[in-house]
Amino acid sequence: MLQPRIKTPCIGVCSTGIGDSVCRGCKRFSHEVIDWNGYTEEQKRIVDTRLAGFLSQCVSNKLRILDGRLLKWQLEVQNVRFTPHHDEYCWLFSLLKAGAGQIAVPEDFGFEVDLKCRDVSLLDLREQIDAEYLLLSQAHYDRYIAVPDLFSSETP
């Protein structure tokens, strides 16, 4: 079975041009943004998998999928773009990005809000999820990419 081509995760609000090491829009590392068009499909898939995993983790901390088929149907009926090879929690974030303020009954879309978050609007939850997603990407960058050179003679 052929794997789908990985499209750029760019959403057109890049912050790496102003010096961020992690883009506030797509959450890729600055070198990934710069080098994306030169990456092989496998390299793109690795980045895509990391980003989807981080996003799914952040969404699932606040929301729970009740019916993935209903969620997918709603995405299709509402003409919301989503990435089919990502999991349902990534799909749910696509729904929230497209219309969090228009969802009155989450269960009608196949999900529910976690008990600890039920006093928070879906718009605010979407912003919280996006902020946590950026923090997770930044922490990963800081831990695994921006490590200091232990053999450098310079001291901080």
Q: Are 100 and 14 in contact (CB under 8 A)?
A: no
Residue 5 lies in a domain: no
Residue 31 lies in a domain: yes
Region of 90 on the Ramachandran plot (φ > 0 left; ψ -120 to 50 alpha; else beta): alpha
Tally: H helices and E strands in the chain = 5, 2
In this structure, what DSSP letter does residue 12 have? S
Predicted confidence at residue 2, as pLDDT, reads 79
Residue 56 lies in a domain: yes
Res 151 pLDDT > 90 = no
Res 68 pLDDT > 60 = yes
Residue 155 lies in a domain: no
* Confidence category of residue 147, pLDDT binned at 50, 70, 90: confident
Please identify which residue in the block is written with the tokens 């793109």: 44
Q: How many CA atoms lie within 13 A of 117 on its CB side?
A: 20
Average pLDDT, the chain: 94
Confirm whether pTM is higher than 0.85. Answer: yes
Summarize the confidence of residues 73-93 as an average pLDDT.
97
Helix (H, G, I), strand (E, B) or coil at 63: strand
- In total, how many domains does the chain have? 1
Predicted confidence at residue 146, as pLDDT, reads 86
Residue 146 lies in a domain: no
Res 109 pLDDT > 80 = yes
Domain that holds residue 45: 16-140
Considering only 1-5, 61-65, 88-92, which range has the smallest mean pLDDT?
1-5
Residue 86 lies in a domain: yes
Predicted confidence at residue 150, as pLDDT, reads 64
Please identify which residue in the block is written with the tokens 């219309």: 99
Going 121 to 127 to 128 to 129, the CA torsion angle's sign is: positive
Residue 51 lies in a domain: yes
Tokens of 78: 């509402």
Predicted confidence at residue 154, as pLDDT, reads 58
The fraction of the chain above a pLDDT of 90, given in percent, is: 89
Q: Are 93 and 132 in contact (CB under 8 A)?
A: no
Give per-residue pLDDT as tens, 4-50.
899 999 999 999 989 999 999 999 999 999 999 999 999 999 999 99
Q: Are 138 and 29 in contact (CB under 8 A)?
A: no
The fraction of the chain above a pLDDT of 70, given in percent, is: 94
Residue 150 lies in a domain: no
